[in-house]
A and B are shown apart, each in its own frame.
Chain A
Amino acid sequence: MSKKINKKISRRNFLKSSTALAGAAVGSGLITGFPAIHASGTPTIRYLGTAVNMGSEPEKKLFEDTGIKIKYISKTTDEVVKTILTQPNSFDIVDSEYFSMPKLVPSGSLLGMDTNRIKEWSNVVTAFTEGKVNGKTIGDQGTAPKKVLYLKGPKSKEFTSEPSRYVTLIPTVYNADTLGIRPDLIKRPISTWAELLNPEFKGKASILNIPSIGIMDAAMVVEAMGEYKYPDKGNMTKEEIDLTMKIFTEAKKAGQFRAFWSDFNESVNLMASGEVVIQSMWSPAITAVRTKGIPCVYQPLKEGYRAWAAGFGLPSTTKGRQADICYEFINWYLSGWVGAYLNRQGYYSAVIPTAKKYMEAYEWDYWMMGKPATADIMSPEGKKLASKGEVRDGGSYEARMGGVACWNATMDENKYMVRKWNEMIAS
């Protein structure tokens, strides 16, 4: 009975208390545009990013551990960039890719992130900070994170190659991408990017229709075919763009491609339905095809991987308690639980030692060490990904990340490249 009464009056109480809080917030100068910390008192973060990392498990776990609530705002890679530039007050934290930094940093829309406030900063993998994996320098063509990580100061619009206290994004997740294949339909080993344009797969190949990523896959193919060796795939000249697009236009006209895809789910459908047997693909898409019981391999290729990396940034308007909450969230993100969650999906966490604590030894051996599974490997959602005895495609962390050839890129000739890409689609 008393519960009922409480309910009845709760709305009035709520109004009262929230007005008081709102007043307090105004008084303390917290309100800047649309503040994250709503008057209700529960710290809330509006998290802008691509849907890839937006699971409901991390959301629940975060609330249990810290009392922070997350509101996901999910957009495509290009739209995330557009939102940062055109609606900087519509989110509190952004999960962006490093290759967007040459576009975002000169605009001054992001805050320089203070590494002194990140507990695990000294443990961030060297792939980000130095461009090395276990001491070995990896490929840095394209927008490699180390090129766009450090800033000259907290409000700087310029990158610096020297390690500094302020960075563009706090690293969270990264991976090495390659081609996905259907081994049951191809029935022979695939070992080079050149196979994407092999006439044997006429009408059964696909590439992604996101120009800044697709162009890198295209460049890997052109180089593998021996047509041209780029001085820097990630920063092509107009002539190099023309050449790359010419080769792909000819292949397209000859009917090499069944379809292009621009949405993650499209790539899953194309592969699962057998419309396509070889295509550019992302790691969770492979997982999605496999959990349907359809064989699909993330094929390691001799020319190496195309890597990508993402991290957290804050809009330059962030202040006070809002910033505290966001840093608390980032520190929680790097404290291990999410790291293990990401590793189990086939990505890599930016802070490895903490993630290890949250993984079982057999999981660690499969995902990170490249050893045969000693028990069935499950996805974070509890679906079976691999049986006992199987080895991860591409092997260990060292083999996969060490084999990176280039990174997703924003080129100096980006404008020209996007136009040429459109022409290829139209041809």
Chain B
Amino acid sequence: MMKFLKLKPSVGLLSIPYSLIFIFFFFIPLILTFIISFWDYNEYSIIPDFIFENYAYIFKDCLNFEKDICVTFKTYLSTFIFCFITWFFTLIIGFFVAYFLAFYVNSITWQIVLFLLCTIPFWTSNVIRMISWIPLLGRNGLVNDFLLSTGLADAPQEWLLYSGFSIVLAFVHLYTLFMIVPIFNSMMRIDKSIIEAAYDNGANGLQILWNIIIPLCKPGIVIGSIFVITVVMGDFITIGIMGGQQIPSIGKIIYVEMSYLQLPAAAANAVILLALTLLIIWIMTKMIDIRKEL
């Protein structure tokens, strides 16, 4: 706080444009979403009110344990599972790709070339990237053709497409780069002499990885994880296309409610989704103080 007060006034002025953008396009809409989540609605309009019906409906039947698990919990559970699996695979793959780029590729030129190579999938729209899995994984797709012709399977494997498997595959394909970038960035900041010192003191490769590189990469890992988790939590397009519209996601529920102009119900769902996502990020930032590490 003291530090802030000592800042020159010009620094404060510099922060005004961003603050304004933040207030008008983020903070105010968010407050409006929160307010509208307590409103009532009909077919064609939203009605100012203060009701808890929108929230009550979301958790209706959720405390009745004799029945099946309620739709809301089921949907969140499935979203969390996708989130965790995607996070796990993007982290493992992302970490080792970044590790390879940072420590095994010695010339800057090659680092840049290989790094750009990683971004190539982002040159096409993400819908196209998803749809291109269909001829590969479909019932008459390339993978099934291969399995059938080599006798590895005697019937087309249906779980390859429109399943949890295909959703995770698409997520990992789409979002691994979000892990690579911040982790690579963290790795490039590691002072090579620390590694040399460890080596000179007799540490083996595994010890260096575990005791030096991973701890120093934590900020990159946390930032990458925040990217991946927030994107997967709110996703409905990937789950929709790769899951054949049969697998629920909170994003899809919000989207359907919005397209039927049930805006207060959508707002209530959005508030809950936001609260849960913030909770996850809060827990992650508890594990590591990003501000300090940066």
Contact = CB atoms under 8 A, between A and B. Distances in A.
A256 to B, nearest CB: 10
Given A259-B162, A269-B134, A419-B57, A274 B44 contact: no
Contacts of B44: 85, 103-104, 106-107, 109
Interface in A88-106: 102-104, 106
Nearest to B253: A422
Contacts of A81: 261
Contacts of A79: 259
A209 B245 contact: yes
Given A107-B45, A258-B158, A422-B248, 12 more contacts: A78-B260, A82-B258, A106-B44, A107-B44, A260-B246, A269-B131, A273-B135, A274-B138, A421-B256, A422-B256, A425-B246, A426-B71
A211 interface: yes
The binding surface of chain A is classed by DSSP as helix
A415 interface: yes
A421 B131 CA distance: 25
B139 A273 contact: yes
A410 B43 contact: yes
B257 interface: yes
Contacts of B161: 275
A262 B245 contact: yes
Contacts of B211: none
A418 B140 contact: no
A157 to B, nearest CB: 11
B285 interface: no
A252 interface: yes
Given A106-B43, A274-B140, A419-B57, A427 B71 contact: yes
Q: Which 5 A-B pairs have the closest CB atoms?
A: A259-B244, A426-B248, A260-B245, A78-B259, A107-B44
A252 B140 CA distance: 22
B245 A259 contact: yes
17 contacts: A203-B158, A258-B162, A259-B162, A259-B244, A260-B246, A266-B241, A269-B131, A273-B140, A275-B139, A414-B43, A415-B43, A418-B256, A418-B260, A419-B57, A425-B248, A426-B71, A427-B71
A398 interface: no
B262 interface: yes
Interface string A269-310: 100011100000000000000000000000000000000000
Contacts of A106: 43-44
A5 to B, nearest CB: 43
A259 B57 CA distance: 27
A174 interface: no
Nearest to A423: B71
Contact of B262 (A102, A273, A418): A418
Contacts of A257: 244, 246
Interface residues of A, number: 38
Given A104-B44, A425-B245, A211 B256 contact: yes
Interface in A402-427: 410, 414-415, 418-419, 421-423, 425-427
Contacts of B135: 273
A417 to B, nearest CB: 10
A76 interface: yes
B62 to A, nearest CB: 13
A103 B245 CA distance: 26
Contacts of B33: none
B277 interface: no
A109 B43 CA distance: 13
Nearest to A77: B259
B253 A414 contact: no
B71 A273 contact: no
A262 B244 CA distance: 10
A257 B158 CA distance: 12
Contacts of A269: 131, 134
Contacts of B261: 81-82, 85, 103
A106 to B, nearest CB: 6
A138 B127 CA distance: 42
Contacts of A427: 71, 74
B43 A259 contact: no
Contacts of B43: 102-103, 106, 410, 414-415
A418 B259 CA distance: 10
Contacts of B164: none
Interface in B140-196: 140-141, 158, 161-162
Contact of A425 (B162, B252, B259, B260): B252
A274 B253 contact: no
Output the residue of A103, A414, A426 with the most chain B CB within 10 A.
A426
Nearest to A418: B260
Interface in B203-262: 240-241, 244-246, 248, 252-253, 256-262
A266 B262 CA distance: 26
A421 B261 CA distance: 15
B162 A414 contact: no
B111 interface: no
A347 interface: no
A261 interface: yes
A26 B44 CA distance: 33
A414 B246 contact: no
Interface in A103-128: 103-104, 106-107, 109
A418 B63 CA distance: 23
B138 A252 contact: no
Given A259-B245, A269-B134, A423-B71, A274 B139 contact: yes
Contact of A261 (B131, B134, B245): B245
B270 to A, nearest CB: 15
A274 B57 CA distance: 39
B61 to A, nearest CB: 10
B130 to A, nearest CB: 12
Output the residue of B44, B138, B240 with the most chain A CB within 10 A.
B44
A211 B256 CA distance: 9
A427 B253 CA distance: 13
A266 B237 CA distance: 13
A274 to B, nearest CB: 5
Interface in A19-59: none
A147 B227 CA distance: 51
A410 B42 CA distance: 13
A103 B259 CA distance: 13
Interface string B83-94: 000000000000
Interface string A180-201: 0000000000000000000000
